[in-house]
Amino acid sequence: MRPSLHRLLPAILTVLPASLPAQSQRTIVVSDLAALTTVGLPRISPDGKQVAYSLSTADSKKDRNTTRIWMSQMAGGPAIPMTGAGQPGSNPRWSPDGKYLAFTGARNGGEAQVWTLNRLGGEAEQLTSVKQGVDDFEWSPDGSRVLLSVRDPKPERPKGDSANPETPEPVVVDRLQFKRDVTGYLDRRRTHLYVFDVLTRKLTQITSGDFDDSDPAWSPDGKLVAFVSNRTEEPDNNRNSDIWVVGADNTDQGRTLRRVTTNPGSDESPAWSPDGRSIAYLTTIDVPAMWYATRHLAVIPSAGGTPALPTRSLDRNVSSPRYSPDGKEIYFILEDGGASHLAKIPAGGGPVTRVVGGLRSVGAYDIAPDGRIVVRVAETGFPGELFTLTAATAPARLTHANDSLLATLRLAQVENIHFKSRDGTDIEGFLYYPVGYDRSLRYPTLLRIHGGPVSQFEAAFNFEAQLFAANGYAVVTVNPRGSSGYGQAFSQAFFADWGHKDFEDVMAGVDYAIAQGVADSSRLGVGGWSYGGILTNYVITKSTRFKGAISGASEALIVGNYGHDHYQREYEEELGLPWQNRAAYERLSSFNDVEKIATPTLWIGGAEDWNVPILNSEQMYQAMRRLGRQTQLVVYPGEHHGIARLSFQRDRLERYLAWYGKYVKGATP
């Protein structure tokens, strides 16, 4: 069983919408992916009466999702669209006086800028005109200024350059970390902080240098800005980001600043206390453990000093720290097992309280000046929606973005399962029963593996698993060693030992489903994306139990990725330099066991993916074809690690169903 660190609060959220009679409902289909709406982060107005948020929906003409800003009353009632259809808008922020709602959007063919909407009505007005666009922004406490995150502009071509302006220039790089998925090749252009004066429209750069600056936060008096930056001699070679403070009226572009933290690991996400005396933030103190290390809550005097680590004994990852309006408590999101909770702790340390606990996933929250909270919560049968929480009343539902769709659907029953791995380790997962499940029957079963690997399946809506269940499959989703919600030792057990303990854990999940009388052992399939695809490769080279496999955005010949994907530092930290410790790379390379694959395998990924490049999928496909095995390669042109085009997302799901249908069910395609 998952360890209970503190007593969970009772189930407090009633989230399921009213349903149609069962005979009027239908099972979920591929096209429903485009019908789902994603609810964004909540932003409460300064007077605590309204909540702004974004809704992301499918735009079939653009073949992309589009985002609009909406507003709901805290007291309830119909939602009001604040931006027009087809007019991009996201990241809403209220001005401190509540008169304006600002947001970012790339409109009229330009770069993303900050726009403002007058609360009394009218069209959005463009506030900033930064040539290269704005990445992020935050109002100053008095509303007179806006803090901007801006990437350096591209250098202009020299005057008199005779080259065709349509001809691309050569890419020249000299950084140790020289590429990043989606961003592309990395040059010396960096992201810095600027202060924009709303009245004069004057833009002042307050940080500079060959460093990236992020996570900016105004001090309560508006005089200082805390931010995150790795300002070591070679930032590409370590994870030593720190919290820094700079004057908001700085005129020397940030050359005069102050370092607050000195931890050699990562420090990030600063949040000021209301009195400005302290900064809460996130810290990783076990540097050698890299991304397997637990991320703790830390509190430090804003002038610098020795930090306190009030959640260190929890041994669970925390995120999104924020002080309560009276400064007495610090709120944060706590990842624990197959769930994420909203929790709080006294600012001076003490017991952790789960504000929203139970088997559900909290994705975001905001706090009103009077202490009321708006939280986004999801459950296995329910995509994330917004709720208001108060100390005196029951939670109240704010958004109903997917009610009309869910009311028409007959979803799969989902069970939170616990079982033992081969070595006796407790493992958690979720079992999706086929829609219309009959206890007297055994069903074709799919083992679906999450990415990361430092991630987890949570008690949240899983469209893919629901789709498979609607098509007659049982679906097993497991959180194996390497997953993030079970403490550092559980996650770090995977260090430099991929495809070993995690393989045993996911296979134990399949055996559990068979032992429960649900899974048909003769009709098993496996698959996943990113590390889910990587572990799929280990599964099919170690086991012949599966009739069909889908390896999405995976890697298999590890050394072939060094210098090609964007994980050079991570390879070096975990495996060493490939020319010095080649054996470690070869030991983890499932490509070396490709001859053992008997499972028909679909290899699939994005052509421009520099996170987990298509290179290894091509190599595995080529090897299987040379060996005469059943295989296919699907490459999505122009796509990165996350497939963005809606038509490609649909195509991928249809191919999943066809491949599993042919090889796991034995159905005619």
Element spanning 163, H or E: none
pLDDT band, very low/low/confident/very high, at 76 (cuts 50, 70, 90) = confident
- How far, in Å, CA of 146 to CA of 194, rounded? 8
Measure CA of the first residue to CA of the last residue in the chain; give whole Å: 41
Residue 112 lies in a domain: no
| Contact yes or no for 449/420 (Cβ under 8 A) | no
**Phi then psi for 46, rounded to 5 degrees?**
-60, -30
pLDDT band, very low/low/confident/very high, at 17 (cuts 50, 70, 90) = very low
- How far, in Å, CA of 344 to CA of 369, rounded? 16
Those residues with Cβ within 8 angstroms of residue 247's Cβ, 6 or more apart along the chain or in another chain = 206, 223, 224, 225, 256, 257
What mean pLDDT comes out for the span 88-94? Answer: 93
- How far, in Å, CA of 214 to CA of 33, rounded? 33
| Contact yes or no for 323/347 (Cβ under 8 A) | yes
Query: What pLDDT is attached to residue 668?
Result: 62
- How far, in Å, CA of 482 to CA of 495, rounded? 8
Q: Quick check: 642 pLDDT over 70?
A: yes
Residue 45 lies in a domain: no
Query: What pLDDT is attached to residue 256?
Result: 83
Q: Quick check: 18 pLDDT over 50?
A: no
Residue 556 lies in a domain: yes
Give the range of the structural domain holding residue 236, as residue numbers without chain letter.
Answer: 128-155+172-249
Helix, coil or strand: residue 171: coil
Residue 182 lies in a domain: yes
Percentage of the chain modeled with pLDDT above 70: 95
| Contact yes or no for 40/55 (Cβ under 8 A) | yes
pLDDT band, very low/low/confident/very high, at 24 (cuts 50, 70, 90) = confident
- DSSP labels for 573-620? HHH--TTT-HHHHHHT-GGGGGGG--S-EEEEEETT-SSS-HHHHHHH
CB atoms within 10 A of CB 464: 19
Query: What pLDDT is attached to residue 3?
Result: 33
Those residues with Cβ within 8 angstroms of residue 592's Cβ, 6 or more apart along the chain or in another chain = 557, 586
Q: Quick check: 11 pLDDT over 60?
A: no
pLDDT band, very low/low/confident/very high, at 156 (cuts 50, 70, 90) = confident
Domain boundary, last residue among 249, 267, 282: 249
**Per-residue pLDDT tens for 423-455?**
999 999 999 999 999 999 999 999 999 999 999
| Contact yes or no for 82/105 (Cβ under 8 A) | no
- How far, in Å, CA of 194 to CA of 213, rounded? 11
Nearest to 97 by CA among 74, 115, 120: 120
| Contact yes or no for 446/416 (Cβ under 8 A) | no
Number of domains observed in the structure of the chain: 2
Residue 218 lies in a domain: yes
Angle at CA 377, nearest 5°, toward 290 and 136? 60
| Contact yes or no for 104/136 (Cβ under 8 A) | yes
Domain boundary, last residue among 249, 281, 298: 249
Element spanning 385, H or E: strand 382-389
Q: What are the beta bridge partners of residue 552? A: 529, 604
In one-letter notation, the amino acid at residue 407 is: A
- How far, in Å, CA of 320 to CA of 307, rounded? 18
Q: Quick check: 160 pLDDT over 60?
A: yes
- DSSP labels for 633-659? EEEETT--SS---HHHHHHHHHHHHHH
Nearest to 105 by CA among 119, 122, 93: 93
Those residues with Cβ within 8 angstroms of residue 363's Cβ, 6 or more apart along the chain or in another chain = 333, 340, 376, 377, 378, 384, 460
pLDDT band, very low/low/confident/very high, at 395 (cuts 50, 70, 90) = confident
3-state secondary structure 103-134: EEECCCCCCCEEEEEECCCCCCEECCCCCCCC
What mean pLDDT comes out for the span 153-171? Answer: 77
Nearest to 447 by CA among 413, 478, 420, 419: 478
- How far, in Å, CA of 154 to CA of 158, rounded? 12
- What value does the CA radius of gyration of the chain take, rounded to a whole number of Å? 25
Side-chain half-sphere CA neighbours of 618 within 13 A: 11
Q: Quick check: 470 pLDDT over 60?
A: yes
Would you mind telling me the total number of residues written for the chain in this entry?
A: 669
Residue 228 lies in a domain: yes
What mean pLDDT comes out for the span 572-581? Answer: 97
**Per-residue pLDDT tens for 494-539?**
999 999 999 999 999 999 999 999 999 999 999 999 999 999 999 9
Query: What pLDDT is attached to residue 6?
Result: 32
Element spanning 376, H or E: strand 373-379
Percentage of the chain modeled with pLDDT above 90: 88
In one-letter notation, the amino acid at residue 459 is: A
Residue located via tokens 């349509």: 166
Residue located via tokens 């649909």: 650
Helix, coil or strand: residue 299: strand
| Contact yes or no for 372/386 (Cβ under 8 A) | no
Query: What pLDDT is attached to residue 255?
Result: 75
Q: Quick check: 210 pLDDT over 60?
A: yes
Q: Using the 8-state DSSP alphabet, how is residue 26 labeled? A: B
CATH number at residue 145: 2.120.10.30
Query: What pLDDT is attached to residue 21?
Result: 58
Residue 65 lies in a domain: no
What mean pLDDT comes out for the span 377-384? Answer: 96
Domain boundary, last residue among 185, 214, 249: 249
Distance of CA 193 to the CA centre of its chain: 24
Buried b (16+ CB within 10 A) or exposed e, 242-271: bbbbbbbebeebbeebeebbebebbbbbbb
Max distance between CA atoms of the chain, in angstroms, equals 79
Q: Quick check: 136 pLDDT over 50?
A: yes
What does pLDDT average to over the chain?
93
- How far, in Å, CA of 506 to CA of 525, rounded? 12
Residue 89 lies in a domain: no
- DSSP labels for 510-523? HHHHHHTT-EEEEE
**Per-residue pLDDT tens for 215-265?**
999 999 999 999 999 999 999 999 999 999 999 987 777 778 999 999 999
CATH number at residue 616: 3.40.50.1820
pLDDT band, very low/low/confident/very high, at 23 (cuts 50, 70, 90) = low
Q: Quick check: 8 pLDDT over 80?
A: no
- How far, in Å, CA of 397 to CA of 394, rounded? 10
